[in-house]
Structure 1
Amino acid sequence: MRNRFSSLSLSSYGSGWSANRRIAIGAAVVAVLLALAAIVALLTGGGNGHQAPDRAVPAPTGSPSSSEAAPKPSSGTGSVPKPPRIAEPVAYAKAAAQMLWSYDTRDTSRNQQLAGMRAWMTTETKYADWASVAGQVPDPVVWSRMADQDQHATAHITEGHYPGAFKQALADDPSAITEAYIYVVTVNGTQQIAWKNGGAGAEERAVTLAVQCRPNHDCTLAAIAPSVTQ
């Protein structure tokens, strides 16, 4: 069997959005290519689909509802690392990507995975797109099947950079970023996945993240962003 969950990424992300949300997202994403003032549009957008090693448990065909609430803090966070205290956008995005590409169903429940991921998010609800992050986690049935196989993954980050569209928008209007301090970063790396009976594999990964880094504050994760010009 093939696994599309190994990076916590679902190609059908966004299928549960309302019509108004889709309209707003579409308008904003177009605007971001014209001026940095619209860069917040990158907080919402499509997933990053990719293949995973053979024989691992497959992911579902649909993502969770965008209305799925964050798990209660009492559920714990299992093996999900705590967000680092980093004030530089690219460094934080690289750490966030490593978190997203790493999991361990042997000691972490689905709710714990969600709780751990939620801790990385910005608390500014105007800019936080929790649905784009929570939508990376498969439904409880698939998570249970993965746990039955002791499925777990680690990640090695090779590099992170600002996409060309973001750099151009920043150059065109350097002051526009001061409204939300949202930075768009593309991260590349390699994920290693393993399961019972010696099963293992590795593959290249890439994701575009929106992170918020206000002056004199640690960065936080805002969203899984669209894959714009690399």
Structure 2
Amino acid sequence: MRNRFPTLSLTSYGVGWSANRRIAIVALIVTVLLTIAAAVAWLSGRGNAHRDPTAAGPAATHSPSSSEAPAPKPEADSGSVPKPPQISEPVAYAKAAAQMLWSYDTRDTSRDQQLAGMRAWMTKEPTYADWASVSGQVPDPLLWSRMADQDQHATARVTEGHYPGAFKQALAEDPSAITEAYIYVVTVNGAQQIAWKKGGGGAEERAVTLAVQCRPGHDCALAAIAPSVTQ
């Protein structure tokens, strides 16, 4: 039997989103003329199933952050979730954020700590923060408890990050449009290694498109998990 862990496995985009939010994020990516005030809604992670921990339980450590910055250490109240790095470059920050999202450790981190740690990465501007799209990555309390019973944990490896083609084209056509919200769309690819008790484990490829806010003179912050509408 296989157990799905939709929250920390990101491959399905736009499932269950409201029409307004879908329109807002698509308009942002295609034209960069909107401020994504509606942001993007949560994504479901179907298609990134984790194997049932009772059948082989997962394994992990956290190697957050990108190669452009040292790996940040977790804060005391967020378990093994790393605190956000001080990065002002969108792609570098998105890579660090993806690595954070794909890494977890139920052996020393509660579900509440996981959520608290993830929230610290979010932009503090409520107009652009879509917390639901990020918190929706975390399993419900019952599933998290089952995972913890099997010491399930995961590490992530980021292979690359880039601006989707439509986003780059829109920026080229109207460079000043980004200055409304300074929201950048970045697609990140990588892999996740999962492990659990009795030597169980497995690896899966991962991909996620993130909306990252990087205002001039400030560190970047995560705004939302965006739909994968471009490559």
**TM-score normalised by the chain length of structure 2:** 0.83
**Between Structure 1 and Structure 2, how many residues are aligned?**
210
CA–CA distance in 2 between the matches of 1:200 and 1:34?
39
Deviations 1:125-164 (A, max 9, x none): 0000000000000110000000000000000100000011
Q: What does residue 201 of structure 1 align with?
A: 202
Q: Which residues of structure 2 form unaligned runs of 5+? A: 56-74
Deviations 1:54-80 (A, max 9, x none): 44369xxxxxxxxxxxxxxx9910000
Match of residue 46, structure 2, among 46, 49, 58: 49
Q: Is the Cα contact below 8 Å between 2:25 and 2:226 reproduced in 1?
A: no
CA distance 1:55–1:47, change in 2 (3 Å): closer
CA–CA distance in 2 between the matches of 1:188 and 1:30?
20
Q: What does residue 164 of structure 1 align with?
A: 165
User: Comparing 196-205 with 75-84, which one deviates more in the overlay?
Assistant: 75-84
- Which residues in structure 2 correspond to 1:73-92 (within 5 Å)? 76-92=77-93
- Determine helix, strand or coil for the equivalent of 2:217: coil
- Determine helix, strand or coil for the equivalent of 1:183: strand
- Determine helix, strand or coil for the equivalent of 1:37: coil
Q: What does residue 150 of structure 1 align with?
A: 151
Q: What does residue 8 of structure 1 align with?
A: 8
Q: Is the Cα contact below 8 Å between 2:122 and 2:223 reproduced in 1?
A: yes
User: Comparing 23-32 with 145-154, which one deviates more in the overlay?
Assistant: 23-32
Deviations 1:88-112 (A, max 9, x none): 0000000000000000000000000
CA–CA distance in 1 between the matches of 2:23 and 2:132?
19
- Determine helix, strand or coil for the equivalent of 1:3: strand
- Determine helix, strand or coil for the equivalent of 1:207: strand
CA–CA distance in 2 between the matches of 1:42 and 1:164?
22
Q: What does residue 124 of structure 2 align with?
A: 123
**TM-score normalised by the chain length of structure 1:** 0.83
Q: Is the Cα contact below 8 Å between 1:104 and 1:151 reproduced in 2?
A: yes
Q: What does residue 176 of structure 1 align with?
A: 177
1:169 CA displacement: 1.2
- The letter of the residue matching 2:21 is I
- Sequence identity percentage: 72
CA distance 1:57–1:139, change in 2 (3 Å): farther
Q: Is the Cα contact below 8 Å between 2:9 and 2:49 reproduced in 1?
A: no
Cα-Cα RMSD:
2.5
Q: Which runs of 4+ in 1 moved over 6 A?
A: none
- Determine helix, strand or coil for the equivalent of 1:188: strand
